[in-house]
Structures are given as C-alpha cells and as structure tokens.
Amino acid sequence: MAKCYNKVPLSFEHQLALLKSRGLRVNEADEAIAIAYLSEVSYYRLSAYFLPYQTEKDVFNTSVNFNQIIKTYTFDRELRLLVFDCIERIEVAIRTQFIYTMATHYNDSHWQDNQACFITPYYNKIGKLINPHADFQTIISKAKTARTPETFIKHYTSTYDTPLIRQAGCVSNY
C-alpha cells in the first residue's frame, strides 16, 4: 500500500540545515551559494546526487561537501546537454537524407502527397488496415500542431501558396 506524503515544506534555509544535520559539510562562505542551488535546482532534484555520497539513508560520508555534489550535478547536466545536441544533429542529418532520397527518387518535392510513392494499403496479421500514405499524413498533421513552427516553416507558409514541403522540418517531431 502506498504511503501518504505528509512531509511539511521547508524553507531553503531549513533544507540546508537539514542537509548539514545529516553530515553534509557546507563552508559558511558557501551557504548563500548552497541556498541559491536549492532555490533554483530544488532539493528534490539534487537528492538524486546525494545518494553516492551517503553511507546510509540520510547520512553523508563525513568527507563530503556541498561543492562535490554540485560538481557532480553540473557534470551530469553538461553531459546531458552534449548528448541532446548530438542526438539533434543526428536526427536532422537522417531526416535530411530521407527527404533528399525520396524527393530525388520520385523527382517530386511533394512526394509525401503522392499516394503512388507509398505501398498499397493492406491488412496486417491481426486484421488492422495499414495505410502507409494515410498514416504518414497523420504523422505530418500531428507534427505540425505539436509545437510552434520553426522560423523556416513560418517563412515558407507566409511566402508560398504551394503546400508546405512538410517533410523538411516537422515529420520527425511527432
């Protein structure tokens, strides 16, 4: 059976005092910085970074200070940003190659609107109709409404009256 969360909220100063009572070392000169991290990052988020520095639940190793936890948090944050940057670059490269391949193969900038570019609809093993063209159109529609259009999409739609080259920016955002 799940327990009811009944802890009372603590001020940032009290959160720091709680950490210190559990053995976390914080230099007096760094207390303002520690409170700033608690107020900007949150105790809850930082608590995941406490675990490697605890000898048991709620007891910090005596040699650990708040700056070590912040260094671990900062490293993790910077690593996450690097990984997301790499993923975004890979996504854009794959999307670009897909779009280029389809457009040049069919010699059609709007291949996604051409039913002939997709396999014929069929029923799968469990009897569900699979319609690749319609499914792709649904993905495009959902992607278009899922987020604010990027600048190049806004420019295209305000400049041209031909259908948006949808595959150029929004297909993988679904």
Tens-digit pLDDT profile for residues 22-71: 999 999 999 999 999 999 999 999 999 999 999 999 999 999 999 999 99
Tell whether pTM > 0.75: no
Tens-digit pLDDT profile for residues 146-165: 766 566 666 667 776 666 55
Most confident of 5-14, 78-87, 130-139: 78-87
Could you tell me which residues come within 8 angstroms of residue 170 by beta carbon, excluding any fewer than 6 positions away?
Answer: 140, 143, 144, 149, 153
- State the pLDDT at residue 115: 92
What backbone phi and psi angles, to 5 degrees, belong to 173? -85, 0
Structure tokens at 88: 């975004």
Work out the number of other CB atoms within 10 angstroms of the CB of residue 16. 21
**Cα 23 to the center of its chain, rounded Å:** 34
